[in-house]
């Protein structure tokens, strides 16, 4: 299993932040610089939260403590597994001693998540463990608290050179009464971690907690200075929880949560739409309110039936595993008056004709799901009765429908379990829109309060009020608009969509559920499962059978009004979500959470209508159609062009002559007065006497090669889709061909050598990709189509001075030559407006054998759209020719409306212009 694009972005964000940690000594400044350089600037009402030094280590030094916001079903655990490699690259780099222990304490909030995490991390066939094995050379061990206390496989020798993951719950560590807990008591199984035989006569080291023995498990963990992975970290922000984290003496803390709290230092956001785009979640949530519990049950049965029929039709048509949709019946707590107990509800469903094997109860006291694999093909379960026992840690993508049987006079509290119905089965988009959404069915007279609970539940899962929709029962009379008032949901949905029965007084008599009024099998179920692309036959299975357990559906019947409403809304929302997702992908917009902290500037009103209609062409590539690509085309990415690139066969002839220590950094250093002042430090050229004289002299040639290869790999970065293994082999071949004198020079100037190797590999890959791009363009396998829309607002890192005809109220800061060029362009009579294009990842890009972000987009009054790239003499123009050729390819394919120009200050080459020449051409457009 590979990382999804949004998960890759999280790891990229983390790696970038780690780079800032390396370059900037004070973590507060590195955190501020990280966000400032990404376009987040302190502004009135939009300030960046300062870094919070929440935890300090045993020496009183601040511990890097960062948070990743990932909604429910976003794959937080898989992200964490991938995050450990770059984190340990910072803490324990590749050039360090090979036998240094690497320890992780993986903290979880509940026993259910604890058991699930341990099981998956230990399973050699699970993607989590496979990724860890790949990153840490299969030297990975997973321990629980019992193993630590017993010393089972956990000793000073065993942990050397391996990744030791210790999975524990918050509660096992954060109780105040430490002396009564075994983790804090003397433990003879840990003597191997205590140096020397006369340990009792030694002064205790700094890592030992006051009042505890050095052999206590907690002190062994502290001696390892572990990395902490805090799952659902919003549960660990109390003073007691912060003390718990500090007691572990960590070297780094990574928080994972859908709902970061006030103490979080967030370095990466994942937007709900990103999960929807990768088919991770069933959104939006369709909420339907009905008049009574009988209607809720009938609607749940009919909807479950329809979903399963469509799932069977899809399996027959496109293959894959069958989805068996599950209904979660949420009963009211037994402590409430006039409730229907769990067993009572099960008896009613059985009496209505549902096979008992299809119904399970899951409560705090009754667990009929224990040992049941709900995803197994032969599992018959379609209905689960619960209150809120299905909380964090319970996971079943087949759960589609949350049907509340709480008393009608109650607001339905769905917060705790709504997240359990969001995960998408098999992480793929289904042909039926109904199979891509999730559903809440209620019968509450307090529907507005119920909707607030839906919003709260979505918030807890990392989503928002945008991610649900209300569907009405339109066969009932209309209700007057909802009055204005403090109700926080007043603006979230159209009052006309609200079920009119919801504001009627609740009946005074106790409701009961009459099994005779429950239609099972649903007499209104459609024999035709879908309209359009998927047609389905009725399911023919004997009642109670493991394969289906459903009886036949009479032919020719139609859906009930409820199901018709839901299907109509599902189809509309599926289209709306797809369009919203397409806009986000096209424009590369920041997640909503991130936008709240950015100073954004809108288009000027008199340009906005014309600008919003623009769709800039980008390159696309024809691909085979199938489950994941139904339209036969994808936006071209450089990785498409590098498949099969034979790096191992490429020349290693790189010019390392005249390598000098010419790389420096400017950083803030603390003065004696506690203030910070800028200081220049050389990156290369540091005297590495310890490495040269003490280490290399004692190492074999192979060990030296492996050590320096590892160091260079850290500096080179990512060359996807070329594997790290292939890059490592290539780098090692380069080093293997070096003589002793050059190898020692490499150690002294590793950054400069790494930069030249990186430039060489980039040149090789670009040449390969360019040649393949040209051939695919000639055969129309690569083509252009309108794709990119100019964003409605922009968030420049730093703003430029005002220049006439700018599209946005503020534009990105420019260098001297750029400002001079656009000033001349803006004052041309025929120019309508212009905008400074965003830099990498933040604006429009020409996507080909390289990603090229032209400096400006200019629109003339005749409707010509010009991409303008400027090249001052002070700029590194080593890739200018490749960019210019890509611009020419784009212009030829895009059509007469579009132009591409590269303008130099003084020097030029074929196909480019000086400023005066360019202005002459522009006047004619």
**Tens digits of residue pLDDT in 160-208:** 878 999 999 888 876 554 544 788 888 888 788 876 444 444 556 777 8
Residue 880: give its domain's CATH number. Answer: 3.40.1350
Between 171 and 764, residue with greater pLDDT: 764
Identify any residues that bridge with 227 across adjacent strands, giving them in sequence order. 104, 252
Q: Are residues 128 and 156 in the same domain?
A: yes
**Tens digits of residue pLDDT in 632-666:** 677 888 888 988 889 888 888 888 876 654 444 44
* Closest by Cα among 434, 441, 439 to 309: 434
Q: Are residues 185 and 325 in the same domain?
A: no
Structure tokens given for 869: 């790239």
Rounded to an integer, what distance in angstroms lies between the CA atom of residue 268 and that of residue 236?
A: 19
Residue 536 has pLDDT above 50, yes or no: no
**What global pTM score does this model have?**
0.56
Structure tokens given for 202: 């030694």
**Burial class of 189 by CB neighbour count within 10 A (0 to 12, 13 to 18, 19+):** middle
Q: Are residues 113 and 162 in the same domain?
A: yes
* Closest by Cα among 285, 299, 297, 292 to 560: 299
* Closest by Cα among 779, 715, 701 to 753: 715
Lowest mean pLDDT among 244-258, 429-443, 604-618: 429-443
Identify any residues that bridge with 833 across adjacent strands, giving them in sequence order. 859
Q: Are residues 55 and 125 in the same domain?
A: yes
Q: Are residues 810 and 859 in the same domain?
A: yes
CA distances from 639 to 11, 12, 334 (A): 18, 17, 57
Residue 452 has pLDDT above 60, yes or no: no
Residue 99 has pLDDT above 70, yes or no: no
CA–CA–CA angle 2, 646, 893 (5° rounding): 80
Q: Average pLDDT in the 143-152 region? A: 86
Residue 111 has pLDDT above 90, yes or no: no
Residues 6+ apart with CB under 8 A from 171: none
Residue 281 lies in a domain: yes
Residue-wise burial string across 203-235, b where 16 or more C-beta atoms lie within 10 A, e elsewhere = eeeebbbeebbbbbbbbbbbbbbbbbbbbbbbb
Q: Which residue has 């990574």 as its token pair?
A: 254
Q: Average pLDDT in the 585-591 region? A: 50
Q: Are residues 281 and 266 in the same domain?
A: no
Residue 607 lies in a domain: no
Which of 270, 292, 310 is the last residue before a domain boundary? Answer: 270
Residue 624 lies in a domain: no
Q: Are residues 861 and 824 in the same domain?
A: yes
Share of the chain above pLDDT 90, in %: 17
Domain enclosing residue 474, as ranges: 276-584
Q: Are residues 760 and 822 in the same domain?
A: no
**Which of the residue ranges 175-184, 223-232, 359-368, 887-896 has the most confident prediction, judged by mean pLDDT?**
887-896
Residue 901 has pLDDT above 90, yes or no: yes
If one counts the domains in the chain, the total is 4
Residue 496: give its domain's CATH number. Answer: 3.40.50.300
* Closest by Cα among 116, 426, 432, 413 to 281: 426
Which of 584, 607, 626 is the last residue before a domain boundary? Answer: 584
Q: Are residues 513 and 385 in the same domain?
A: yes
Rounded to an integer, what distance in angstroms lies between the CA atom of residue 604 and that of residue 621?
A: 35
Q: Average pLDDT in the 539-560 region? A: 44
Residues 6+ apart with CB under 8 A from 572: none
Which of the 8 DSSP states describes residue 603?
B
Residue 390 has pLDDT above 70, yes or no: no
Residue 625 lies in a domain: no
Q: What is the DSSP string of 369-382?
A: TTT--TTSTT----
**Which of the residue ranges 41-50, 391-400, 552-561 has the most confident prediction, judged by mean pLDDT?**
391-400
Residue 697 lies in a domain: yes
Structure tokens given for 137: 């050379």
Rounded to an integer, what distance in angstroms lies between the CA atom of residue 291 and that of residue 442?
A: 9
How much is the pLDDT for 865? 96
Q: Which residue has 């024809």 as its token pair?
A: 622
Q: Are residues 226 and 308 in the same domain?
A: no
* Closest by Cα among 310, 275, 280, 294 to 567: 310
Between 859 and 524, residue with greater pLDDT: 859
At residue 915, φ and ψ (nearest 5 deg) are -60, -45
Between 762 and 907, residue with greater pLDDT: 762
At residue 856, φ and ψ (nearest 5 deg) are -140, 150
How much is the pLDDT for 39? 64
pLDDT grade for 333, boundaries at 50, 70 and 90:
low
Residue 449's Cβ-side half-sphere holds a number of Cα atoms within 13 Å equal to 11
Residue 859 has pLDDT above 70, yes or no: yes
């Amino acid at each position: 299993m590979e990382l999804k694009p949004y998960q890759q972005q999280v790891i990229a964000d983390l790696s970038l932040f780690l780079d800032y940690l390396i370059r900037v000594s004070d973590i507060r400044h590195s955190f501020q610089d990280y966000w400032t350089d990404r376009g987040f600037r302190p502004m009135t009402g939009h300030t960046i939260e300062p870094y919070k030094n929440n935890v300090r280590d045993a020496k009183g030094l601040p511990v890097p403590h960062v948070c990743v916001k990932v909604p429910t079903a976003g794959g937080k655990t898989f992200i964490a597994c991938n995050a450990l490699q770059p984190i340990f690259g910072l803490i324990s780099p590749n050039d360090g001693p090979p036998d240094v222990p690497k320890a992780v304490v993986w903290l979880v909030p509940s026993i259910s998540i604890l058991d699930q995490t341990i099981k998956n991390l230990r399973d050699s066939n699970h993607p989590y463990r496979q990724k860890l094995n790949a990153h840490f050379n299969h030297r990975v061990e997973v321990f629980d608290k019992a193993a630590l206390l017993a010393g089972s496989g956990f000793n000073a020798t065993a942990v050397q050179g391996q990744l030791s993951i210790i999975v524990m719950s918050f509660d096992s560590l954060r109780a105040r009464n430490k002396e009564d807990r075994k983790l804090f008591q003397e433990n003879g199984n840990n003597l191997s971690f205590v140096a020397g035989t006369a340990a009792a006569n030694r002064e205790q080291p700094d890592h030992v907690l006051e009042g505890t023995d050095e052999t206590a498990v907690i002190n062994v963990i502290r001696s390892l200075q572990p990395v902490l992975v805090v799952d659902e970290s919003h549960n660990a922000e109390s003073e007691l929880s912060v003390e718990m984290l500090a007691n572990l003496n960590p070297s780094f803390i990574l928080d994972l949560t859908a709902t970061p709290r006030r103490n979080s230092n967030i370095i990466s956001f994942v937007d709900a739409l990103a999960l929807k785009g990768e088919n991770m979640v069933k959104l939006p949530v369709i909420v339907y309110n009905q008049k009574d519990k009988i209607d809720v049950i009938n609607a749940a049965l009919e909807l479950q039936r329809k979903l399963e029929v469509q799932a069977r039709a899809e399996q027959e048509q496109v293959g894959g595993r069958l989805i068996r949709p599950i209904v979660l019946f949420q009963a009211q707590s037994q402590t409430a008056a006039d409730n229907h107990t769990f067993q009572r509800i099960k008896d009613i469903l059985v009496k209505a004709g549902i096979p008992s094997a299809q119904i399970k109860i899951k409560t705090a006291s009754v667990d009929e799901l224990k040992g049941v694999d709900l995803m197994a093909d032969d599992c018959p379960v379609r209905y689960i009765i619960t209150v809120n026992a299905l909380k964090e840690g319970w996971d079943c993508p087949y759960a589609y429908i949350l049907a509340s049987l709480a008393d009608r006079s109650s607001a339905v509290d769905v917060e705790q379990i709504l997240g359990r119905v969001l995960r998408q089965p098999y992480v793929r988009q289904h042909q039926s829109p109904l199979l891509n959404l999730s559903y809440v069915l209620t019968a509450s007279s307090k529907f507005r309060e119920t909707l607030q609970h839906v919003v709260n539940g979505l918030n807890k899962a990392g989503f928002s009020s945008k991610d649900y929709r209300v569907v009405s029962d339109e066969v009932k009379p209309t209700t007057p608009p909802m009055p204005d008032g403090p109700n926080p949901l007043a603006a979230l949905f159209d009052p006309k969509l609200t079920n009119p029965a919801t504001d009627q007084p609740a009946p005074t008599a106790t409701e009961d559920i009459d099994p005779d009024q429950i239609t099972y099998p649903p007499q209104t179920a459609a024999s035709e499962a879908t309209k359009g692309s998927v047609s389905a036959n009725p399911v023919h299975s004997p009642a109670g059978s493991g394969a289906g357990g459903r009886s036949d559906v009479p032919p020719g019947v139609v859906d009930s009004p409820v199901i018709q409403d839901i299907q109509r809304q599902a189809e509309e929302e599926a289209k709306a979500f797809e369009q919203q997702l397409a806009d986000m992908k096209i424009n590369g917009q920041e997640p909503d959470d991130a936008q709240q902290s950015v100073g954004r500037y809108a288009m000027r009103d008199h340009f906005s209508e014309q600008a919003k209609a623009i769709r800039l062409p980008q390159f696309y590539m024809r691909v085979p159609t199938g489950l994941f690509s139904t339209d036969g085309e994808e936006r071209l990415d450089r990785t498409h062009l590098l498949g099969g690139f034979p790096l191992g066969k490429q020349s290693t002839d790189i010019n390392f002559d005249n390598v000098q220590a010419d790389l420096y950094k400017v950083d803030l250093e603390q003065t004696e007065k506690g203030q910070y002042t800028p200081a220049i430090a050389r990156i290369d050229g540091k005297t590495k006497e310890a490495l040269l004289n003490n280490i290399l002299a004692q190492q074999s040639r192979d060990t030296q090669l492996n050590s320096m290869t590892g160091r260079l790999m850290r500096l080179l970065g990512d060359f996807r889709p070329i594997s790290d293994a292939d890059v490592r082999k290539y780098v090692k071949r380069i080093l293997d061909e070096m003589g002793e004198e050059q190898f020692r020079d490499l150690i002294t100037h590793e950054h400069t050598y790494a930069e030249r190797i990186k430039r060489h590999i980039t040149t090789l890959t670009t040449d390969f990709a360019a040649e393949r791009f040209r051939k695919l363009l000639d055969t129309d396998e690569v083509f252009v189509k309108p794709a990119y829309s100019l964003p409605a607002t922009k968030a420049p890192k730093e703003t430029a001075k005002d220049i006439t005809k700018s599209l946005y109220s503020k534009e990105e800061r420019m260098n001297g030559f750029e400002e001079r060029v656009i000033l001349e362009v803006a004052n041309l009579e025929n120019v309508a407006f212009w905008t400074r294009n965003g830099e990498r990842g933040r604006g429009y890009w020409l996507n080909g054998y390289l990603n090229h972000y032209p400096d400006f987009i200019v629109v003339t009054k005749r409707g010509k759209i010009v991409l303008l790239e400027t090249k001052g003499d002070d700029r590194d123009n080593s890739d200018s020719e490749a960019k210019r050729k890509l611009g020419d390819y784009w212009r030829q394919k895009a059509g007469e409306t579009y132009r591409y120009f590269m303008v130099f200050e003084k020097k030029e080459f074929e196909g480019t212009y000086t400023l005066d020449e360019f202005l002459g051409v522009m006047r004619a457009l």
